[in-house]
Amino acid sequence: MPQVVLVNPQIPPNTGNIARTCAATGTELHLVGPLGFEISDRYLKRAGLDYWPYVKLHYHESLEAFKTVHQERGGRWLGYTVGGNFSYVSFRYQADDWLLFGSETTGLPPTILSDCDATLYIPMSQPGVRSLNLSVSVAIGLFETRRQLGYLQ
pLDDT in tens, 112-129: 999 999 999 999 999 888
- Establish whether 102 is an annotated binding residue: yes
Report the greatest alpha carbon distance in the chain.
41
- Establish whether 131 is an annotated binding residue: yes
For domain 3-148, the CATH superfamily is: SPOUT methyltransferase, trefoil knot domain (3.40.1280.10)
In this prediction, residue 40 carries a pLDDT of 72
Per domain, the residue ranges of the chain are: 3-148
46 band by pLDDT with thresholds 50, 70 and 90: low
**DSSP SS3 for 7:** strand
In this prediction, residue 36 carries a pLDDT of 87
Helix (H), strand (E) counts: the chain:
5, 7
- Looking at this protein, which amino acid is placed at residue 26? G
Kindly report the average pLDDT of the chain as a whole number: 92
In this prediction, residue 43 carries a pLDDT of 60
